[in-house]
Amino acid sequence: MKPAPFAYRRPGTLAEAVSALAGEPDAKVLAGGQSLVPLLSMRLASPAMLVDINGIPDLDAIVVNDAGDAVEGDDGGVRVGALARHAAVLASPEVRRVQPLVPMALQHVAHATIRNRGTTVGSIVHADAAAEMPVVLALLGGSVEVEGPGGRRTIPAEELFLGPLQSSVAHDEIAVSAYVPGLAAGAGVAFDEIARRHGDYALVGAAALVEGDRVRVGYLSVGDVPTVVDLSGVADDELGEAALAHLDPPDDIHATAAYRAQLVRVLTTRVVRSARDMAEGL
């Protein structure tokens, strides 16, 4: 469990980082390393170069705008820098106030030691369909800002997740920040998941967003990419089945597809109820 040889760069600016990536087609970005380093150690990944962005200043910012600031959107929003650790985002009262779904989901991300090092943006662009934060981004209609040789561009969530561990961030681009809109007044959110052990990847997880009559639920661990299903207008006792019509939960050594389907039923009902309660101020 020792990585194969690789070159290591620790640029001091974003421009240098982008140029390092551009110069080596087989380079990977190292941020928190909580997914990448185990892959290297198990030699499941053996990139020729690691570009460590931890030396780049100001990438750890967490910027929160309230509704009406009109900086990012009507309902305000949360912008998380590429080096902001899960723990810092989870601990931020401003983030919690403007978009409570973020901390609701983050508390399910692994364990404290991993959250201390792992980055929220890194987790999103790693594009693991079993991870919490990609689903949050997808459900809330957030986006990721990336910088590449051609400058900056914004990738909306619906264009970000291409397949298992595949995102539309190009090889020579670095995700600089992720943005999720704030929670509108009168809206509600909820998150729940079921894992074998505390902190494990969920067997199934679900996040709900209820805004008036509009009901949307995002799922993790049920497909190749984070999946959002529109359940607006569906009767309460049909939510689970309605969701399953759009989902194809997999079998693996921890759970059968039938069991995952059952968890989809249970969790869908739970998160929609809970988000609705929040929307109604209960």
Q: For other proteins, which is the closer residue by CB, 185 or 258?
A: 258
Nearer to other proteins, 110 or 174 (CB): 110
**Smallest gap, in angstroms, from Cβ of residue 114 to other proteins?**
12
235 or 258: whose CB is closer to other proteins?
Answer: 258
Show Cβ contacts of residue 149 under 8 Å, excluding neighbours closer than 6 positions.
Answer: 18, 19, 22, 172
> Measured from the CB of residue 253, what is the shortest distance to other proteins in angstroms?
4
Q: Return the structure tokens found at 231.
A: 């359940």
Closer to other proteins by Cβ: residue 2 or 233: 2
Tokens of 147: 């910088």
Nearer to other proteins, 4 or 15 (CB): 4
Which lies closer to other proteins via its Cβ, residue 139 or residue 255?
Answer: 255
Q: How far apart are CA 234 and CA 2, in angstroms?
A: 51
Q: How far is CA 222 from CA 124, 147, 234, 262, 282, in A?
A: 17, 31, 20, 12, 30
Least spacing, CB of residue 197 vs other proteins, in Å: 5
| Contacts with other proteins, residue ranges (CB under 8 A) | 1-5, 42-43, 194, 196-201, 203, 253-256, 258-259, 262-263, 266
Tokens 């494990």 correspond to: 200
- Residues forming a β-bridge with 191: 207
For residue 81, count other CB atoms closer than 10 A to its CB.
Answer: 22
Q: How far apart are CA 25 and CA 212, in angstroms?
A: 47
CB of 47: closest distance to other proteins in angstroms? 15
How far apart are CB 254 and other proteins at their closest, in Å?
7
Read off the DSSP letter of residue 72.
S
Residue 206 CA to residue 18 CA, distance in Å, equals 35
Nearer to other proteins, 39 or 187 (CB): 39
**Residues 173, 46: Cα–Cα separation, whole Å:** 19
Q: How far apart are CB 112 and other proteins at their closest, in Å? A: 12
Question: Could you tell me where the beta strands, DSSP code E, fall in the chain?
Answer: 7-9, 27-30, 49-52, 62-65, 77-81, 143-148, 151-156, 161-163, 166-167, 174-181, 187-195, 202-211, 214-220, 227-230
Minimum CB separation of residue 176 from other proteins in Å reads 29
Q: What is the distance between the alpha carbons of residues 136 and 22, in angstroms, rounded to a whole number?
A: 30
